Structure 1
Amino acid sequence: MICVVCRSGERQHGTTTITFEREGVLLVVKEVPAEICMNCGEDYVDASITHEIMLLAEQMARNGMCISVRRYVPGSVTC
């Protein structure tokens, strides 16, 4: 599939690092499955994975955590 950002690069399966920061919570999730543009490096993460990461950030905020760095593990978020 063609990249919507640069409009010339092909996207290929790979992994990326997601950094989420909001209201004093910093979450870094490594090795997140994504499609990566081979031209500009733009990454595309599936909506279900994005939802899991958002739930994880919400759990962190509820538990009073400020910073967390972790590897992505599918299905590891339970609410």
Structure 2
Amino acid sequence: MEQQGKILQEVTHLVDAGKLQGTASEVLNGLNVETLQQAHIKVQEGHMRGKVTIAKPSLCQPSTLVIPGESRGSL
């Protein structure tokens, strides 16, 4: 657990220094069948730049962080 705390502190410093950038290009609200289908279609179309994020309404808007230059993942 102590190591995880150190990793999170380093991530915080990297975000604050602008070395990590959010790549969420669209946020779909509500974790349900409709938003999962929408997200899947957007990824499959191949026109997305960045990430599609599905947010649970009761939670804060999440951000997907990647290190610039790293390859993009898929949904």
Scaled by the length of structure 1, the TM-score of the pair is 0.24
Instruction: Considering fraction of residues, name the structure with more strand.
Output: 1
Scaled by the length of structure 2, the TM-score of the pair is 0.26
Instruction: Considering fraction of residues, name the structure with more helix.
Output: 2
Q: Determine which structure has greater relative contact order: mean sequence separation of CA pairs < 8 Å that are 6+ residues apart, divided by chain length.
A: 2
